[in-house]
Amino acid sequence: MPKRKAQKDGWYSRVFAWALPKIAGKHSQLIEPWKIKLFSSLRGTVLEIGPGSGANLRYFPAGIRLIGIEPNPYMHPQLLKEAERFGVRVELHTGVSEDLPVEPASVDAVVSSLVLCSVTDLEKTLAETLRVLRPGGKFVFVEHVGAKRGSLLRLEQDLVRPLWKVVGDGCNPNRDVLEAIEKAGFARVEAESFSVPGPVVSPHLAGVAYKAG
Ligand SMILES: C[S@@+](CC[C@H](N)C(=O)[O-])C[C@H]1O[C@@H](n2cnc3c(N)ncnc32)[C@H](O)[C@@H]1O
């Protein structure tokens, strides 16, 4: 089997790294309440998949140790600036969520925001998340997900997906993320669905999935 590419390079990745903080502005404000609620309880070693340019660093409590796994190296400088600004100790890797470069059962929490839509292999990402979490550790997520099957919005998401994926850096707006998390093997999943105004990228899902203790 060919090895999964762990680095996103080329002009598109460079442009996306530049554009992400600009595109994200309003949407970030709308999902902020869920980030504040869920991220404030993080402790110890936290691994974030796809941290991008560091949008979440402002919400992380002081004292955590962050391991970031971000395949787009053009995002790294901005992320490191944010880490310095908010006093977060970070160890940053160019890599992918399907192949995490850390030992089994070595982190207290895994964080993901607006990433599960664009990972290449969602099941492998969740399996890796479980592998690296310590017993009793938690997976904390704030994501946009596919609308209810059979709804008009889901039809729109299904139709627009091929183009959306190209312009949105691999984003699939129609993924059944909750179903995948529930099937992945966590001991308990607590999640709530919410909507924010805007086309295609809705509904959202925020919650915590616990590894058996
Ligand atoms: C929409 S951005 C979200 C960034 C950040 N989490 C946020 O909330 O602003 C998606 C991020 O996921 C990253 N990504 C895409 N595929 C990935 C993968 N397989 N593993 C880890 N990160 C990935 C992208 O490079 C990008 O930084």
pLDDT tens-digit profile of 54-88? 999 999 999 999 999 999 999 999 999 999 999 99
Residue 120 CA, closest ligand 1 atom number: 19
What pTM was computed for the model?
Answer: 0.95
DSSP 142-158: EEE-PPPTTSHHHHHHH
pLDDT of 4 > 70? The answer is no
CA of 31 from ligand 1 middle (Å) equals 16
CA of 115 from ligand 1 middle (Å) equals 5
pLDDT tens-digit profile of 105-134? 999 999 999 999 999 999 999 999 999 999
Cα separation of 106 and 118, whole Å? 25
Asked whether 177 and 126 are in contact (CB, 8 A), the reply is no
The residue whose C-alpha atom lies closest to atom 9 belonging to ligand 1 is 55
pLDDT of residue 3: 47
- Which residues does 111 contact at the CB level (< 8 Å), separation at least 6? 39, 42, 46, 47, 48, 49, 56, 139, 140, 141
Domains in the chain: ranges and CATH:
11-210 (3.40.50.150)
Residue 72 CA, closest ligand 1 atom number: 25
pLDDT of 21 > 90? The answer is no
pLDDT of residue 2: 41
